Structure formats: C-alpha cells, structure tokens
Amino acid sequence: MSEFWDQKHKANSKLWLTCTKPEEVFQIHGIQLPAPDTRILDIGIGNGDMHRYLVALGHNVWSEDISLVALKKVRPGRGIRESEIHLHGPWDLVLCHLVLQHMNDKQIKRLLSQIYLTKTGIMSLQFAELLDSRIESPWPNHFFRDLETMERIVLDTGFRIQWIRNPTDWLWNGETIRWWVTRIKQLAEGVQ
Ligand SMILES: C[S@@+](CC[C@H](N)C(=O)[O-])C[C@H]1O[C@@H](n2cnc3c(N)ncnc32)[C@H](O)[C@@H]1O
C-alpha cells in the first residue's frame, strides 16, 4: 500500500490527498486550538498543510505517514513512520483525519498501540461508515466501519471513547457515507 500512496504524493493528487484546511479539521473535530508548545502528532500528512499550520502557531509537531514521499513534505526529522511514534510521545494531542478509511482493523490496532497520551492528552479520530450499500465493495482500498466496531477497536487497544460528534451524512455516487468523529483517552494513565 505504501507504493500506492507514494504515487499519489508524487503526483500531488488532489483527489487522494484531500488537503482539508487545518482550521476546518479543528472545527470538524470540535477541538479548540491548543496553547503554543503543545506536543502534537498529526497522522496522515496529505499536502503537509496541517504540519506547517501547527508549526507556525508554535507547536511541537510530528507527522506520521505510510508514504516516505509524504514524510519529506514536513521538516527534517519531524516526518515519522508508525514504528517511531512511541519514541516521540507522550502526546498532548493526536489528530487523525481522513486516514482510517484507508486502514483495516488490524492496522488501526497496530497504530493505536504505538500511541501514548499524557494524562490530559486526547486523540481525535475521524472515520467513515457506509450506510445501506447495495454494492458489495463500491470503494476499493477503503474500509468503512460503524461506531460499535470502532469502539471495540478502541477498547481493545487500551483507550475509551470520551466524546462523539453528531455524525454527518453525505451522498457520494449514490451511496450514503456517514462521517464520525470521536475523541479518545487512554485507559491506563499515560506517561507524564
Ligand atoms: C486522504 S489523505 C488525508 C490527509 C489529511 N489528514 C487531510 O485531512 O487532508 C490520507 C493521508 O493518509 C496517508 N495514509 C494512508 N494510509 C495510511 C496508513 N496506513 N498509515 C498512515 N498514513 C496513511 C496518505 O499517505 C495520506 O497522506
């Protein structure tokens, strides 16, 4: 899968990299902009806008991605692989927007098991559910899940859901996609 994303990053694909405006991501996730110097992990670099935005606000930011090409879009040393996440925490804030629909359940569990939050730290996850689909697999390389499935993944990896945003439904090619945003906390106390 990393070759697929390398290609999309090389081509700067607007369709696949989405590039949601950083202010919009905070709005969608219902998160206030944190005070400067917060330790933040952004998962899924896209075009790197979120990383640059948070750096400009004075935050301590790292960004993780499956694509080595994507990692080069952020400051040297601040683009990291999944296996390096635990080296740079504990995190005050972890953002994950428009990434989980590209990961299966096992991959999400592996990702979450790398993450240690501070005592007050939160992780905000966006994921998507496909409602009433009449087609077996209309979206190749996409993984849709409902809230119960996500809650099970979260609990299995030592987190709990703290807050759920009212979901938003939108139509895409005749399918209804439900967008969820959940905020999760670590069950065992995070490292200080
Ligand atoms: C749709 S873009 C979203 C970018 C940005 N977060 C946004 O909201 O605009 C998906 C990003 O996730 C990355 N990605 C895809 N699968 C991933 C995985 N398994 N682990 C980490 N990053 C992944 C892609 O390389 C890409 O940068």
Does residue 37 form part of some domain?
yes
Let me know if residue 26 belongs to a domain: yes
Per-residue pLDDT tens digits for 40-74? 999 999 999 999 999 999 999 999 999 999 999 99
Residue 154: pLDDT over 50: yes
Asked, for residue 85, whether it belongs to a domain, the answer is: yes
CA of 39 to the centre of ligand 1 (A): 20
| Residue 81 Cα distances to 13, 31, 90, 132, 157, angstroms | 21, 25, 16, 35, 19
What is the residue with the minimal CA distance to atom 22 of ligand 1?
A: 65
Work out how many domains the chain is built from and give that number.
Answer: 1
Domain that holds residue 114: 2-186
Query: Per-residue pLDDT for 191 more than 50?
Result: no
* Ligand 1 atom index nearest CA of 95: 6
Tell whether 19 is covered by a domain: yes
Whole-number Å distance between alpha carbons of 165 and 127 = 11
| pLDDT at residue 91 in the model | 98
Based on C-alpha coordinates, what's the Rg of the chain?
16
Residue list, ligand 1 pocket, CB within 6 Å:
5, 16-20, 25, 43-46, 64-67, 70, 97-99, 102-103, 107
The preferred substitution site among 40, 65, 73, 177 for testing ligand 1, maximizing ligand atoms within 8 Å of CB, is: 65
CA–CA gap between residue 49 and residue 52 (Å, rounded): 5
- 45 CA → ligand 1 middle, Å: 6
Nearest residue (by CA) to ligand 1, atom 24, is 44
In a domain, 191, yes or no: no
Domain assignment present for residue 157? The answer is yes
- pLDDT band at 175; cut points 50, 70, 90: confident
Alpha helices in 32-186 (DSSP H): 49-56, 68-71, 85-88, 105-112, 147-156
**Could you report the per-residue pLDDT of 101-111, keeping only the tens digit for each?**
999 999 999 99
Range from 75-89, 129-143, 154-168 carrying the lowest mean pLDDT:
129-143
Higher pLDDT, 157 or 20: 157
Say what the pTM is.
0.95
If you search the block for the tokens 């990053």, which residue do you land on?
A: 9
Three-state DSSP at 50 gives helix
- Give pLDDT, residue 152: 98
Is the residue at 192 inside a domain?
no
pLDDT at residue number 52: 97
Q: Are 107 and 53 in contact (CB under 8 A)?
A: no
Q: How confident is the model at residue 137 (pLDDT cuts 50, 70, 90)?
A: low
b vs e for 23-46, b when ≥16 Cβ sit within 10 Å of the residue's Cβ?
Answer: eebbebbebeebeeebbbbbbbbb
User: Ligand 1 centre from 188 Cα, in Å?
Assistant: 28
The answer to whether residue 192 scores a pLDDT higher than 60 is no
Q: Which atom of ligand 1 is nearest to the CA of 67?
A: 25
Looking at the domain assignment, is residue 159 inside a domain? yes
List the CATH number of the domain containing 115: 3.40.50.150
Contacts 24+ apart (CB under 8 A), 12-18: 12/47, 17/46, 17/47, 18/46, 18/98
